[in-house]
Amino acid sequence: MHASTSAPTGSASATAAGASAISHRLRWRVVDIVVAAVLGVALGLVFWAWNTVGGTWFVAMDGLTPGLGGIAVGIWLIGGVIGGLVIRKPGAALLVEVIAALISMLIGNVWGVSTLFSGIVQGLGAEVIFALFLYRRFTLPVAMLAGVGAAVGAWVFELFYGSSPNILKTIEFNVIYLVSLAVSGALLAGLVGWLAVRALAATGALNRFAAGREARREV
> Sign of dihedral through CA atoms 116, 158, 78, 50?
negative
d(CA 157, CA 138): 26
Band of pLDDT at residue 95, cut at 50, 70 and 90: very high
Q: At residue 18, does pLDDT exceed 90?
A: no
Least confident of 45-49, 106-110, 184-188: 106-110
| Structure confidence by residue, pLDDT tens digits, 34-75 | 999 999 999 999 999 999 999 999 999 999 999 999 999 999
Query: Distance between CA atoms of 82 and 92, rounded to whole angstroms?
Result: 9
Instruction: Output the DSSP codes for 46-111.
Output: HHHHHHHHHHHHHHHHHHHSTTGGGGG-GGGGHHHHHHHHHH-STTHHHHHHHHHHHHHHHH--TT
Is the pTM higher than 0.95? The answer reads no
Instruction: Assess whether pLDDT exceeds 60 at residue 31.
Output: yes
